[in-house]
Amino acid sequence: MPAQNAQVLFPVNVDKPFDYEVPAGMELQPGEFVFAPIGKQFKLGVVFSLGAKGFDKELKFVAEKKPARALPPEMLNFISWTARYNCAPMGMVLRMVLSARKALDPSPEVTHFSPTGKPGLRITPARQLIMDKGGPFPARASEIAERASISAGVVRGFADIGGLRAEIRPVDGPFDIPDPDLSGLELSQSQKEGAAKLVEMVKRNQFATALLDGVTGSGKTEVYFEAAAQALRQNRQVLILVPEIALTQAGMKRFKARFGAEPAPWHSALGEAERRRVWREVAHGRAKLVVGARSALYLPFLNLGLIVVDEEHDTSFKQEEGVIYNARDMSVVRAKLSDASVILASATPSLESLVNARNGRYEHVVLPERPGAVTLPDIDLVDLKDHPPAKGDFISEPLIQSAKACLERGEQVMLYLNRRGYAPLIICRACGEKLKSPDTDSWLVEHRETGRAICHHTGFSMRMPKECPSCHSEDSLTSVGPGVERVAEEAGRHFPEAKIEILSSDTSGNPEKIRERMQRMEQGKIDILVGTQMVVKGHNFPGLTFVGVVDGDLSLVGGDPRAGERTFQTLVQVAGRAGRADKPGTALIQTHQPEHEALQALAMGDRERFIAAELGMRELLGLPPFGRLAAVIVSGPDQNKTQDLARKFTNLAPRAKGIEILGPSEPPIAKLRGRFRRRILVQADQSLDLSAYMAHWRSRIRPPSKYKVQIDIDPQSFM
């Protein structure tokens, strides 16, 4: 048999697999895990392809095959596709996939004990405590001992004489199996029709994409549950992507009510043991239902049948560091490679998804109303030029009066401002110095609850200084502008009897605390919830009838071409939290720009007016979805050398029809984590293969050590 050549990809910063010779007697298949020498080390890699050795060059040998389930062929294809489309190193994409390497080993095992009921044994008081308080059984010796307030030695001694049965079990137990045939909530007629279309799509067991386009509170979750149930009946795995950990936690009880089992969770807050368990169960096809954040898309599903991207418009699905990718777009690719279905669900779909649906590329399932007698909230604008807040305040009189009337009815209020902390700017009255992070060109945010000044881009934190670091004037630092802490403080002055809580990523704590806070709001134990973007996404608070938006113009600032779309989406979602039960809801939006088309469309309840205007502008300018965008981020430790590198790279751009290059320019945050940054924006015709163009351009330069040239296909952020 001729010598065999294996192409092995390692989870490091490499662009392609390396060639190795397969030792005689070792049988390999693509997707299997091996150890092979790279440099002076032996590293774990994945076999990407095999073939007969067709050249005379001496190769190193594969050292060892790891006895673990191989990655399926579609996963290998997905790694390659992600890397090519996003101009990312293949090895770094594999690194995302291998996010729980201990899952490649069998589960650790532990001994569990349960009573045998054997007669005639001498039962001491301590042994009686085992029987009375040590359960539920089976359990570990340490668990029994803790519950019975005895030592673990007593437990093992009782097992030695036959009072307890020892059973070796894996530490990483299986997840409960969801039951697709449990009955869900009673669906309205429009919900039934929408669910039937999605179920039929899943039944075909072939690639298809649907946009589930339903107003806030229309029951999109219950509708896509029916599609998930169908995929489970066909013994296929289901992945539901959500934009925030808070949604993962808050939604678990809804999944359990519908399917009789909680899904396997996947998000950044999981510990190593939990990640190991989920990864292994997914890889073996035993975890049938998975709910997670964007990285769950790179779990090694054995038989993926359905992907749901909930709140598909949300920018949280875009990963901005490391491998830069959009999980919404990659979900469509992942499904196509697996002959699976995709459901993109949103009350405010991205314009890209909406155009795809209207052009017939996606099935368009519309839920135009809330079920039963529940109506959409009334939305009005508060022109801050006509109703300025009192000096030093940020809440206008119309918002105060509406909130007061709501509280007097025994209903709940939400105040929304997408700014964490107490104030977004700390300035010295004596010299005008603005406090900044020492290695980042961004302002420090005051967090009065913790007494710290924090950079939200890097996590840098320091105690609030008593004097200005520049001129050393004491007591000269003042807070400028509002954050949620300041809004909550002001609300406390207006409504001293109200129970007020803040929900933001700074105050929410761990996932369990998020769940507890959501439950308190659902149970009516909070009168006023002051929150950032975390409160917008998919939460259902029955007693909430009034929403006040403190700054409706916040996302309109800056040079983001999607600013209008983002503003409209966010404010629709915020306002949609009100009146989701049997009581009507209202929303007031404070703004200095009441004439803006996004705000006008919102107040009139005329989504089509906004979409038509926005699409017309995009088409005129050649912006997505009528054109393509890519960004280049050049960064390095020296400002002048970074600028020179950016100019040199721009001059190396290949000539091509349908390409326009803007920059290099200094972004709003010109220095981040000690690295100076320059941005280049590339605009291309829709028909051009922008990924191939950018990869070719990137290959023309080799940046010096410590300098980077990063490609961002379809950028969502312009900071």
Q: What would the pLDDT profile of 129-146 be if each residue is shown by its tens digit?
A: 999 999 999 999 999 999
Cα separation, 5 vs 206, in Å, equals: 34
**662 Cα distance to chain centroid:** 30
Q: Which CATH superfamily does the domain covering 189-367 fall into?
A: P-loop containing nucleotide triphosphate hydrolases (3.40.50.300)
pLDDT score at 583: 82
pLDDT score at 251: 67
Query: Mean pLDDT across the stretch 600-622?
Result: 90
Query: Mean pLDDT across the stretch 56-61?
Result: 83
Considering the chain, what percentage of its residues have pLDDT values greater than 90?
72
pLDDT score at 246: 62
177 pLDDT above the threshold of 60: yes
Q: Which residue has the tokens 């997840």?
A: 175
Query: Mean pLDDT across the stretch 18-34?
Result: 94
Task: Report which of 680, 697, 673, 694 is spatially closest to residue 643, judged by C-alpha positions.
Answer: 680
Cα separation, 370 vs 618, in Å, equals: 31
Cα separation, 434 vs 672, in Å, equals: 17
pLDDT score at 250: 60
Q: Which helix (H) or strand (E) holds 209?
A: strand 208-214
Please list, in sequence order, all residues whose beta carbon lies within 8 angstroms of the beta carbon of residue 247, skipping any fewer than 6 positions away.
Answer: 310, 311, 537, 538, 539
Q: Which helix (H) or strand (E) holds 639?
A: helix 639-651
User: Which residue type sits at 535?
Assistant: V
Dihedral of CA atoms 640, 642, 644, 649 in degrees, nearest 10, equals: -170
Task: Report which of 97, 94, 8 is spatially closest to residue 49, judged by C-alpha positions.
Answer: 8
Hey, is 305 helix, strand or coil?
Answer: strand
254-258, 517-521, 651-655: lowest mean pLDDT where?
Answer: 517-521
Rg of the chain over Cα atoms, rounded to whole angstroms, equals 29
Task: Report which of 34, 40, 37, 29 is spatially closest to residue 59, judged by C-alpha positions.
Answer: 37
Query: Mean pLDDT across the stretch 555-582?
Result: 79
Q: Quote the DSSP letter at residue 434.
A: B
**Higher pLDDT pick, 252 / 126:** 126
372 pLDDT above the threshold of 70: no
241 pLDDT above the threshold of 70: yes
Task: Report which of 309, 627, 514 is spatially closest to residue 529, judged by C-alpha positions.
Answer: 514
Class of domain 4-98: alpha beta
Average pLDDT, the chain: 91
Hey, is 544 helix, strand or coil?
Answer: strand
Query: Mean pLDDT across the stretch 462-477?
Result: 91
**CATH number of the domain at 627-713, please?**
3.30.70.600
373 pLDDT above the threshold of 80: no
Query: Mean pLDDT across the stretch 657-670?
Result: 92
374 pLDDT above the threshold of 60: no
413 pLDDT above the threshold of 70: yes
Contact 30, 73 (CB under 8 A): yes
Considering the chain, what percentage of its residues have pLDDT values greater than 70?
96
**Higher pLDDT pick, 396 / 719:** 396
Class of domain 373-419+483-624: alpha beta
CA atoms within 13 A on the CB side of 197: 20
Query: Mean pLDDT across the stretch 253-266?
Result: 91
6 pLDDT above the threshold of 70: yes
**672 Cα distance to chain centroid:** 22
Diameter over CA atoms, the chain = 91
What digits encode the pLDDT tens for the residues 311-336? 999 989 999 989 999 999 999 999 99
pLDDT score at 248: 59
* pTM (whole model) above 0.95: no
pLDDT score at 536: 72
Q: Which helix (H) or strand (E) holds 343?
A: strand 341-346
- Tally of residues, the chain: 719
What digits encode the pLDDT tens for the residues 294-308? 999 999 999 999 999
